[in-house]
Amino acid sequence: MLNEPTLVLNKSWYPIGTTTVRTALCMIFREAAWGLDPSDHTTHDFDSWASLSVLAGEPCIRTVRLELRIPEIIVLTSYDRFPNRRVPFSRRNIYRRDRYRCQYCNARPPVSELTVDHILPRSLGGHSSWANCVLACLPCNRRKGNRTPRESGLRLRRSPREPRWSPCLSIPIGKRKPSWEQFVSDHYWNVELEA
């Protein structure tokens, strides 16, 4: 129970990650976070959280003196920084955006056989940017050479663009609690990885 995940929201109620129930309770106790009641969106310090009644059948933590509801969501009390909503342009994030697939033939070879291709080659003035870089397998890369896709007879399967920031991409759907949905649903974050 104590190792179950708890969703962490920053002070502006944006999800910034998860922690364990154990850590979440410590954070509420230290006043680093409030417990959030997903049913009515009220926030609670430790005493207030401890005074919430545990509903019948609801999992809880029992100590000698009290029954504690499991905090499924906490809100940080002081972390006020708005998370960076831009995905850093990096090799790793190009791989993630393109899902480890060649963007020309859709092959998914071993990572070592994928390269970052400049759609408009650098020698022709192409920039290193989200819109001009895609993953290509070695055969497509060789075939393309220093030419444009059109010149080499290759077609992009989708037009590349900057992915939208999502802090919760890393939380598998099956691991999310229903109470988190209002904060982390793909619909809410509008994750656009494909054009």
Q: What are phi and psi of 44, to 5 degrees?
A: -140, 135
Q: Is 180 left (phi over 0), alpha (psi -120 to 50) or beta?
A: alpha
- Whole-number minimum distance, CB 118 to Zn ion, in Å? 15
Q: Kindly state the smallest distance separating residue 98's Cβ from Zn ion, in Å.
A: 11
Q: How far apart are the first and last CA of the chain?
A: 40
Q: Give every CB contact of residue 20 below 8 A, 6+ residues apart in sequence.
A: 2, 3, 4, 5, 6
Q: What angle do CA 104, 109, 114 make, to 5 degrees?
A: 65
Least separation, in Å, of the C-beta of 103 and Zn ion?
8
For residues 54 and 107, which CB has a smaller minimum distance to Zn ion in the complex?
107
**Burial code of 135-165, b = ≥16 C-beta within 10 A, e = fewer?**
bbbeebbeebeeeebeeeebeeeeebeebee
Least distance (Å) from Zn ion to the CB of residue 129? 21
Binding residues for Zn ion, how many (CB under 5 A)? Answer: 6
Residue 74 or residue 140: which is nearer to Zn ion going by CB? Answer: 140
Site for Zn ion in 81-140 (CB under 5 A): 102, 104-105, 107, 137, 140
CB of 181 to Zn ion, least distance (A): 37
- Per-residue binding string, Zn ion, 4-23, x by CB under 5 A, is --------------------
Task: Output 7 or 102, the one with its CB closest to Zn ion.
Answer: 102
Identify which of residues 69 and 101 has a Cβ nearer to Zn ion in the complex.
101
Give 76 or 137: the residue with its C-beta nearer to Zn ion.
137
Q: Which two tokens stand for residue 126?
A: 């192409």
Contact positions vs Zn ion (CB under 5 A)? 102, 104-105, 107, 137, 140
